[in-house]
Amino acid sequence: MAALWESAIAKFNDRSARVGVLGLGYAGLPLTCCFAETGFETYGFDVDRAKVDQLRAGRSYIGHIPAQRIARLVASGRLQPTPDFRALRECDAAVICVPTPLGEGRTPDLTYVINTARAVAEHLHRGQLVVLESTTYPGTTDEVLLPMFEASGLKVGQDYFLAFSPEREDPANADFSTRTIPKVVGGITSNCGRVAAAAYAALVERVVPVSSARAAESAKLLENIYRCVNIAMINELKLLFERMGIDVWEVIQASATKPFGFTPFFPGPGLGGHCIPVDPFYLTWKAKQYDFNTRFIELAGEINSAMPLHVVDRLTEGLNLMGKALNGAEVLLIGAAYKKNVEDVRESPAIRIIQLLHERLARVSYYDPYVPRLETRHLEKPLLSVRLTPEAVSASDAVIVVTDHSNIDYAMILEHARLVVDTRNATAPYRRPSHKVIMA
């Protein structure tokens, strides 16, 4: 008779397993679609009934996931969106993809993970695989989730299987998808790792097994810290090169011609998105339990967090040269999303820049083709995207390019703007000496 872990693997191999994905955001929804498209009967769980209703109606609320894809999967019955967690009883796998924000003082906020894990624990049964995909500090899977599940009396690695596999989604990246990005998997036990690896092997082109859940949790943090620290370094060099009269973008382009030992990173107005501005501080918090100070992470956070203020300072300098004060100035922001060609505004530097401009009594408007309405806890009232027209540009005292969306008419902006503050070098192909452009 086959061991339970072998039977679990067999279900994933022949696609007879039922899969539940908990959290249908930027990481969970693409994963849910992939499981369903691979032939698994897939439940998509979310506490947001509005999201569930949209999916059931065949609509998508994430720009790079077409509504047709959702509608096809729902109509086939392979994708079943639901707010009812009792359906977990039917699932052979439960994959947790919920947010892990920062709390006060940059401390980890595991509220969503804990609440979701409790729902899973309530319906945990023999043979079930549970995978945490939410980015977190090393030890979360075995220190937080494992005790909840052990209280059921089931034995990990024998009766059920627990693992960590970090999400690696990059929205709107045309070169990589959920299927083509290698999947790192680490189990609490070796059997857990084998079952989790089998589940993802049915889905993605390459699975990368590691020795433990902690190793998998750490791998995700290293990926994000690597980017955070290198972006901070290039932002600091930008500040220095500005004083020295050197074009940092030219320097990066020249350095990138070296075919080995150099990876280009690019400066900007600050970090955004859920991962890079947030995740490194999960490790910073955990490191303190080991009497260790993560100095690189802290310094990188300070540098990157200061970039929105630098943008506003550069704007102020430019306006002063025109004999104009920031107080009362009409400022038009291009882009509200945290990165190009997406609608995601989480931790976007645009929000902080708007705050700073409001504090300095500037009159602020924005244009973003992906974000028609900007409403966050950081803003006193919602803002609506304006139409990007020559009249709107010429009526502004200054335009700040915050997000370098591909479908922006930068030539038109340069032609009609009194002053452009470019944080992304987006105007480079169209700039002429007659244009008033400040890099920031």
Question: Which residues are known catalytic residues?
Answer: 275
Q: Map residue 249 onto helix, strand or coil.
A: helix
Contacts of 75 (CB under 8 A, 6+ apart): 58
What does each C-alpha distance from 286 to 213, 231, 294, 438 come to in angstroms?
Answer: 15, 23, 10, 41
- In whole angstroms, give the CA distance from residue 191 to residue 209: 12
- At a CB cut-off of 8 Å and minimum separation 6, what does 89 contact? 123, 125
**Cβ neighbours of residue 44 under 8 Å, at least 6 residues apart?**
20, 21, 24, 28, 29, 32, 52, 55, 79, 80, 81, 82
- Cβ-based neighbours of 347, under 8 Å, separated by 6 or more: 271, 272, 273, 274, 277, 278, 338
Report yes or no: 178 and 165 within 8 Å, Cβ to Cβ. no
In DSSP terms, which residues pair with 383 in a beta bridge?
Answer: 374
Element of type H or E holding 363:
strand 363-367
Task: Report the sign of the C-alpha dihedral through residues 357, 410, 440, 233, in that order.
Answer: positive
Q: Give the C-alpha separation, 436 to 327, whole Å.
A: 20
Distance between alpha carbon 306 and the CA centroid of its chain, in Å?
20
Residue 284: CB atoms within 10 Å: 23
